[in-house]
Structure 1
Amino acid sequence: MNVTILHGYSASNSGDGLLVDLSIALVLRNFGADTTINVVASDPKSFSYLPYKRYGAPVMAARGLKRVKEAIFLKESYSELEDLLSTTDLIVGVGGGYMRSKSALEHLKLKLGHAKQLETAILSKVPSVYLPQNIGPFHGESRPIVEHYASADAVFVRDNSSLALFETNENVYRAPDLAVQALASKILAQPKFIHCASSPGVVCVVLRKPPQWSKEKKRDYVAKLKLLLRRLRDKSKVVCAVQSSVRGNDDGAFYRELGITEELLPLKATLSKYQPDLVISVRLHGAIESLLAGVPAFHISYERKGFGAYQDMGVEDWVVNGGDIDVDYIINTVYAPEALSRFGKRLTDTCKGIEAKSVMMDDIIKGIIR
């Protein structure tokens, strides 16, 4: 069995690296440890820890003038990927929120990168499955993208808005994020996995820069994050962590904009060193990575994927809109009496339902190549 994994990004963003790792685990679970796996990513060197062949994603992995050249000669740039797929038995698209655009420039990049990978996968006629992801919104023509997804053997989406794009397509299914599924498996194996203090003594905060909002909205976002940090420091010890250090998506640079200049550790190292009682994360996979470490997590989301994930986990009141952060709501929620233990119980109670959806996914995926 030969499987090619498409749409990898960079392990320098721990959330994106996690999704690639979980995609590989899913492939091995369903098709065996002797499966041959190829990983196509925009930063293939960052996945050097994997014992599999790695390939640079066309255009996306190139730098400088080479990227311009690959974009101009797009057909030739994708020829190597076409050759790779011709030797593949199954294409697996990693989950995530990469199939979207918020501006004309982002939409152009999408067409040259992820959308073109999707098109190449579908035109190869190789069986294909796309793992839980968000599709849209788009700034520009999206019909070809939607049509290509509709031609895949199976597509799993992790929010209802994405599902609504495919109302008449029987190949599209609603399913939780792979990290949410992994979390459910851990909790079912160890029901007391989520460690809940009576009140947050140490709080870890994971922040990121805002999207392409107006200057006024960005100023408001920064002001509310600063207010949140002040309010948290009045009640708890606060440590900050970095989840992404990849070029163009560098959390450390944003912390410096906030006036936070101390040396910051990656989230995983921060969780290990400080053992916080609570994480408040503006990154979805920062929140889920914290949950996977057994730490309750509140999520500030400015994308619908966060609301979908927290709804799947049964704790939808622990997520707020990053476009209009309600600092009072966050403080009142996480410092309410026994808030952490009540969060842990509700999360644990949903795990059997999540596990059932994981089994459903596995059955569909295995059925594709029978």
Structure 2
Amino acid sequence: MKILHVTECTGGGVLRAAVMAARAAPEHTHVLCSPLTADQAPDDFDEVRTLPESLVARILAVRREVRSIAPDVVFAHSSWAGIYTRALPSPVPIVYQPHCYVFEDPARPAALRVAYRLVETALAPRSTVTVALTPHEAALARSTGAVDVEHVPNAATVSRPASSGAGELAPRRTVVMVGRISPQKDPGLFAEIARRTRALDPSITFRWIGDGDAEQRNELEAAGVQVTGWVGDADLVDLLGGAALYVHTAAYEGFPLSVLDAAALRVPTVVRAIAATAHTRLASFDDAAQAVHIIRRALDDPDARATILALTCELEESMNPEEHRESLARTYDQAVSAARRPGTPGRPRRAIILHGYSAANRGDGLLVELALDIVRSALGEDVEITVAANHPDSFHGMGVRVLDSGLRRTGYRRAYLKTLRHLGDFDLVVGVGGGYLRFGHLVESLKAGLIHGPQLFAAARTKAPTVYLPQSIGPLRLGSRPAMRRLLRSVDVVFARDDRTVAELALPNVVRTSDLALGEITSDGRDAARLTPDAAPILSVRHVDGGIPAPLADLARRMGTFDGYVQSTAGKNDDRPAMASMHPRTTLGFDDLMVPSDDGGVRVIVAVRMHAALMALKAGHYVIHLSYERKGFAAFADLGLAEFVHNVRRFDPALVQRQVTALLEDEDERRRYDALLVGATSQYASRSAEVASAVAALVPATVVAP
């Protein structure tokens, strides 16, 4: 097998990892493509190809080398190499190893981290296999849309000299860190630890092995840290092996080779408490003060130092050369076999949409229709789509296969359970948007768990690409939050349509966006002068908490004459009894209100159901929303209409009546309403486009031929 290794790094852990990969499989031919020339590159590669300077030139150069060398596998080491190898379609399988995701860097601005994540998400479908060093990195990989993720544990790149003792603890007082001087390694924290420690005990020496940013190097040296610059393997063994303690300060990592090198050299190791090392039992610290305490105790107390060393040596049980070799071999086999896997050529693509409810609830029906549009856009018009729905009959006629996902007296349908067990047979798994994952009280929790729980569990465990379209998830009471976070963490991308959902879940794969229905709303053609002559407002209601809230009944009395509109007639969500109890002048049908027409006037509408409000906005009406859940407040804020949404349980009826009257009687107020909507249009339209692009990016455009 011929393997083309691509990296932009000329030193540090990434290049050492590429060398280690070549050494782990000497039976294969290894070609290095990097900025290094043949006389600069390590001797572990059979051939060396040199990359040019610019980004575009490197992308094109990699494509030329792939055609020239004809490797069996391309191995991309680190994020930039991931761009060089995946920016253009590749005729051979690609193994991508990020060596930590830069979007995890807490020091970078949030907007920049989002941009990095979007790049990774866009390129993930072109990775045949993604290599993850830890369970945490594997979860991050899946959150970007990576489908085949292989855990390949790192191993030490050095070994103890034969003459060294069996881990004896010499009375040395040097603290060492190894790595590139860069924000990721947080040399500022190491400098602060050095200053604080030496202020208490000047006999302790601090040393940084490596080089990098000149300004940060100066900061280290100003704190009394000795900076060695880059060193060869022999000097690394001497400098690291002669340390009393290894302290790793990186803010984020894949998994640091230097920690494993320290373990191999029997140097007690202390690490910053970050996600990459959370699965280990290494001694750790959260801040400089804790680090200073651990360092002083380790250097002054032989028993404490021995305990730290024992925990350090545990790493070699699961992170060793043998495990590394075997995992790499599996990765190469997986990449080559994936290239031969039946895919798009020869069979139509297949997708499944989970969590459908009923098209008789026009809001839920709309979300399924929008999901179908996104799936067809991503996979082509000939895609075969299955919809799992609680009221399956309501979705017939949509050109899809419908599964009954309801819990009946005899249990779940056998075909439904079989489909959930085999979600991996689909090219894409989509959770329809909505607010069905709610655990506010016992009955609501039972409904969510029994109806939607099996679908979420199946989506979390499948290897097929998974995306949950814009959701409002929560409240997560009654102990449900840990379980929901565990399951949703395994979904590749979860789009949230409100900030409270993002905050409650606090997961790296949750992305804030807008409700899909907002993408259907346009400010084009709105006419503040085209109000229906009879000027009667419209009220659309539903039962909330089992009845009509007192403020809503008060508002109906204040409005006097009004027309009604029913949004849902599905099962227990049938709004007809609630609407009838309000005694409207007449109850309008969908075609009367929601289908725009040239001769039809616009109306002023007060709506309780969010999608009734959004569909009315799409039809050109002026809408005030009385929301019973977080989703409504987020949607109207995204629309620029935050002042026109109120809590249905405790709003001021007099205020809402004044808003209704102003919209009915004042054309300038309607023009102001339109201006607010126009101002927000570009933002929510771009968010809808981002959702569609992210879904398309989850699915490879082509399947590589063997």
Q: What TM-score do the two structures reach when normalised by structure 2?
A: 0.46
Q: Counterpart in 2 of 1:230?
A: 557
- 2:471 equivalent to 1:141: no
> Counterpart in 2 of 1:160?
499
**Is 1:266 aligned to 2:600, yes or no?**
no
Counterpart Cα distance in 2 of 1:355 and 1:367: 19
Q: 1:55 aligns with which of 399, 403, 413?
A: 403
Give the CA deviation at 1:77.
7.9
Using a 3 Å threshold, how does the CA distance of structure 1 residues 93 and 115 change in structure 2: closer, same or farther?
A: same
Structure 1: gaps spanning 5 or more residues? 213-217
Equivalent residue for 1:126?
Answer: 464
Pairwise CA distance, 1:267: 3.7
- Aligned residue type for 1:202: A
* Residues 4 and 88 in structure 1, CA contact (< 8 A), matched pair in contact too: yes
Q: 2:515 aligns to what?
A: 177
- Tell me how many residue pairs correspond in the alignment: 342
In structure 1, what is the equivalent of residue 683 of structure 2?
Answer: 353
What is the CA RMSD across the aligned residues, in angstroms?
A: 2.3
How much does 1:140 deviate?
Answer: 1.9
Structure 1 residue 110 displacement after superposition: 1.4
The answer to whether the Cα contact below 8 Å between 1:277 and 1:296 also exists between their aligned partners in 2 is yes
C-alpha contact (below 8 Å) 1:195/1:296 kept by paired residues: no
Q: Which amino acid aligns with 1:91?
A: V
Secondary structure (helix, strand or coil) at the match of 1:54 reads strand
The CA deviation at 1:287 is 0.2
> What SS is found at the alignment partner of 1:37?
strand
Name the aligned partner's letter for residue 285 of structure 1.
H
1:148 deviates by 1.0
Look up the SS of the partner of 2:538 in the other structure: strand
Residues 367/350 of structure 1: CA separation in 2 closer, same or farther (3 Å cut): same
Whether the 8 Å CA contact 2:541–2:609 is kept in 1: the answer is yes
Any idea what SS the aligned residue of 1:341 has? helix
Q: Contact between 1:195 and 1:295, CA under 8 Å: does it hold in 2?
A: no
Which of structures 1 and 2 has the bigger CA Rg? 2
Q: Which amino acid aligns with 2:360?
A: S
Q: Paired residue for 2:100?
A: none
* Greater Cα shift, 272-281 or 35-44: 272-281
Deviations for 1:64-123, whole angstroms, at most 9, x for unmatched residues?
Answer: x22xx34xxx9x785323255242111010101100033212212211111221111111
Q: Verify the 8 A CA contact 1:198 1:340 in the aligned structure 2.
A: no
Letter in 2 for 1:195: D
Using the TM superposition, give the Cα deviation of residue 362 of structure 1 relative to its aligned residue in structure 2, in angstroms: 2.5
Matches within 5 A, 1:1-370: 1-59=349-407, 62=408, 65-66=409-410, 69-70=411-412, 79-83=417-421, 85-142=423-480, 143-167=482-506, 169-183=507-521, 186-187=522-523, 191-192=524-525, 194-197=526-529, 201-211=535-545, 221=549, 223-233=550-560, 238-259=562-583, 264-271=587-594, 275-336=601-662, 337=666, 338-370=668-700
Q: What secondary structure is seen at the aligned counterpart in 2 of 1:350?
A: helix
Percent of residue pairs bearing the same amino acid type: 32
Q: Aligned pair in 2 of structure 1 residues 43, 101: CA closer, same or farther (>3 Å)?
A: same
> Structure 1: how far apart are the matches of 2:592 and 2:479?
42
CA distance in 2, matches of 1:197, 1:147: 52
Unaligned stretches of 5+ residues in structure 2: 1-348, 701-706
Rate the CA distance shift 1:87–1:58 in 2: closer, same or farther, 3 A.
farther
8 A contact 1:267–1:286 mirrored in 2: no
Aligned AA (1:308): A
CA distance in structure 1 between the aligned counterparts of 2:399 and 2:353, rounded to whole angstroms? 14
- Kindly provide the CA deviation profile for residues 180-210 of structure 1, in whole angstroms up to 9, marking residues without a partner as x: 1221xx43xxx22x33248771322110111
Asked if the contact 1:299–1:306 (Cα under 8 Å) also holds between the matched residues in 2, the reply is yes
Deviation at 1:270, TM superposition (A): 3.8
Secondary structure class of the residue paired with 2:388: strand
| Native 8 Å contact 1:196 1:295 kept in 2 | no
Instruction: Classify the secondary structure of the residue corresponding to 1:152.
Output: coil
Return closer, same or farther for 1:275/1:11 CA change in 2, 3 Å cut-off.
farther
Counterpart AA for 1:278: V
Distance 1:334 1:14 in 2: 24
Q: C-alpha separation between the residues in 2 aligned to 1:302 and 1:82? A: 32
Q: Which has the higher contact order (CA 8 A, sep 6+)?
A: 1
Q: Distance in 2 between matches of 1:89 and 1:117?
A: 16
Is the CA contact (8 Å cut-off) linking 2:564 and 2:586 kept in structure 1?
A: no
Cα gap change, 1:101/1:247 in structure 2, threshold over 3 Å: closer, same or farther?
same
